Amino acid sequence: MELLPSTEPFPAFPADFTWGTATAAYQIEGAWDEDGKGPSTWDTFTHQPGRVTGGQTGDVACDFYHRWESDLDLMAHLGVNAHRFSVAWSRVLPTGLGPVNPAGIDFYDRLVDGLLARGIAPYVTLHHWDLPQALEDEGGWTNRATAEAFAEYAALMGERLGDRVIGWITLNEPFVLTSFGHSFGVHAPGRTMFLGVWAVVHHLLLAHGLAVRALRDAGVRGTVGITQNLSPVWPLTDSAADRAAAEKLDSIYNRQWLDPILLGRQPVDPEATYPGSDFSVVRPGDAEIIATPIDILGVNFYNPQQVKAPGADNPMGFELVPIEGVPRTGFDWPVVPQALTDLLVGLKERYGDVLPPIYITENGTSIPDTIDADGRIRDIFRIAYVDRHLRGLHDAMQAGVDVRGYFCWTFTDNFEWAEGFDQRFGLVYVDPDTQVRTPKDSFEWFRQIATGSAAGRQAEVMP
């Protein structure tokens, strides 16, 4: 189904609104074993046969490790005033704990300076799924020691970059890391623990809380928060059984990752939700650590979810049902911009005054882009997707939700996890064989949006 931009005038965003792009280390950097970097779970996973479409890996990815300066020049042309990137933990700490790899930490130091020199505020994600393999070998996120190691790594990054980073994100989408990576094994580390993942859930939340404290103890000047992928969950019908299914998915998808941080309590009953798990992992004091106040909440939004009551042989408590009658992305995800408004207004209703200012830390779409004979990439669907989600976002702001920024996923086409280069999300087209970059039509469109609020630019960048 076609998707076109709205013909209504584009709404006015605040002059100090943050306009950015977002990326993740494994998806762009390449240089997987260069300059002392240790292997991560994603290096291991992609090197195993059958894990990624066509056997693709992120060994080279967008070669950002070598091309970062010209990529930042291109980003400066885009006119964004912020950029969110992640640090590859095993580039900085090859085995997850000491000793430090100076070449690795220097890379991120230069990257932060390079962004600031171009008037782009650095937002740093500490963990976007690529765990040092050495920590995985010790049990990874099933092991409390991984959360403790994460806090040490956070302290190190805070000490080194804390004078210049504008915003810190501890973890990216712990729900996806838990479900895709640990329950179903379709992402690294490829574990298939199904429902037995309570230790992973708890240790990720704990790691977040410990890292917030470590960053603050390190004296970072920027704001500190976490990025969650959130979705409204719709019942297929109004039946009690379908509504219970929606409630179930909402609890593990959304509330499980927010309530412990914002309200200080875990809404799911671990023993009922995660049978077969190790329930001894929760220690006195953990809830307080997890509830350490945060300054900002990162929200990644792509699409809503729809569920119905599960069949008798399904122990999950819900069954996903495709949303029909709407446009679909290259990933076959349904496009429902109104769901972003509903999500944000719903967060405000649920959390009220304890809801921190929100940044949309990811939103965008993959489509099967093609280069026309004249060299242009006419990605009207992507323009329409972002246009309509920005309008949905603006509606939520009009309704009183405090949203401070929007980071488009993503800057350049990149290694889209289990799909490799087959799903293109970039504002810039990348040929992975030649590494040639070609801005798509959406690049110029987003440039106009981002620079429309150029007045906010300097306010974002600390002296």
| R_g of the chain computed on alpha carbons | 21
Please pick, among 2, 34, 138, 173, the residue that the annotation labels catalytic.
Answer: 173
How many residues does the structure list for the chain? 463
Helices (H), 141-197: 144-161, 174-176
Closer CB to ligand FCB, 60 or 291, in the complex: 60
Site membership for ligand FCB, residue 13 (CB under 6 A): no
Is 173 designated active site? Answer: yes
Choose the stretch contacting ligand FCB; rule: CB under 6 A; options: 106-114, 133-141, 171-179, 209-217: 171-179
Residues 244-283 that bind ligand FCB (CB under 6 A): none
Whole-number Å distance between alpha carbons of 31 and 35: 8
Whether a cis peptide bond, with omega within 30° of 0, leads into 293 is no
Site membership for ligand FCB, residue 176 (CB under 6 A): yes
Of the residues 19, 175, 409, 415, which one makes contact with ligand FCB according to CB under 6 A? 409
Site membership for ligand FCB, residue 172 (CB under 6 A): yes
Distance spanning both ends of the chain, measured CA to CA = 47
Choose the stretch contacting ligand FCB; rule: CB under 6 A; options: 170-178, 232-240, 266-274, 290-298: 170-178
235 φ, ψ (degrees, to nearest 5)? -75, 145
Site membership for ligand FCB, residue 130 (CB under 6 A): no
Closer CB to ligand FCB, 176 or 287, in the complex: 176
Closer CB to ligand FCB, 13 or 42, in the complex: 42
Choose the stretch contacting ligand FCB; rule: CB under 6 A; options: 148-156, 182-190, 314-322, 409-417: 409-417
Residues 38-97 that bind ligand FCB (CB under 6 A): none
Closer CB to ligand FCB, 13 or 168, in the complex: 168
Q: Return the number of other C-beta atoms located less than 10 Å from residue 390's C-beta.
A: 23
Task: Report the nearest approach of ligand FCB to the CB of residue 222 (Å).
Answer: 20
Burial 304-336 (b: 16+ CB within 10 A, else e): bbbbbbbeeeeebbbbebebeebbbbbeebbbb
Of the residues 199, 416, 428, 460, which one makes contact with ligand FCB according to CB under 6 A? 416
H or E element that contains 103: helix 102-117
Task: Report the nearest approach of ligand FCB to the CB of residue 170 (Å).
Answer: 14
Residue type, 268: V
Draw the binding track, 15-34, toward ligand FCB (x: CB under 6 A; -: no contact): ---------x--x-------
Report the interhelical angle of 144-161 vs 102-117 (nearest 10°). 50
Residues 361-380 that bind ligand FCB (CB under 6 A): 362
Cβ distance 452 to 63 under 8 Å?
Answer: no
Site membership for ligand FCB, residue 417 (CB under 6 A): yes
Please pick, among 29, 136, 362, 416, the residue that the annotation labels catalytic.
Answer: 362
* Burial category of 284 from C-beta neighbours within 10 Å (exposed 0-12, middle 13-18, buried 19 and up): exposed
Give SS3 for 141.
Answer: helix
- Tokens in use for 306? 């729809």
Task: Report the nearest approach of ligand FCB to the CB of residue 413 (Å).
Answer: 11
Site membership for ligand FCB, residue 229 (CB under 6 A): yes
Task: Report the nearest approach of ligand FCB to the CB of residue 425 (Å).
Answer: 6
Draw the binding track, 422-441, toward ligand FCB (x: CB under 6 A; -: no contact): ---x----------------
Size of the site for ligand FCB (CB under 6 A): 12
Whether a cis peptide bond, with omega within 30° of 0, leads into 237 is no
Closer CB to ligand FCB, 39 or 58, in the complex: 58
Task: Report the nearest approach of ligand FCB to the CB of residue 90 (Å).
Answer: 17
Whole-number Å distance between alpha carbons of 364 and 88: 23
Residues 276-315 that bind ligand FCB (CB under 6 A): 300
Residue nearest to ligand FCB (CB): 24
Whole-number Å distance between alpha carbons of 259 and 447: 36
H or E element that contains 125: strand 121-127
Choose the stretch contacting ligand FCB; rule: CB under 6 A; options: 71-79, 104-112, 169-177, 257-265: 169-177
Closer CB to ligand FCB, 219 or 368, in the complex: 368
Task: Report the nearest approach of ligand FCB to the CB of residue 458 (Å).
Answer: 29
Site membership for ligand FCB, residue 173 (CB under 6 A): yes
Task: Report the nearest approach of ligand FCB to the CB of residue 340 (Å).
Answer: 15
CA dihedral sign, ordered 200, 144, 156, 210: positive
Query: What CA–CA distances, in Å, run from 327 to 80, 268, 333, 395, 413?
Result: 28, 33, 8, 21, 21
H or E element that contains 256: helix 256-262
Site membership for ligand FCB, residue 161 (CB under 6 A): no
Whole-number Å distance between alpha carbons of 295 and 152: 20
Residues serving a catalytic function are: 173, 362
Q: Which residues bind ligand FCB (CB under 6 A)?
A: 24, 27, 172-173, 176, 229, 300, 362, 409, 416-417, 425
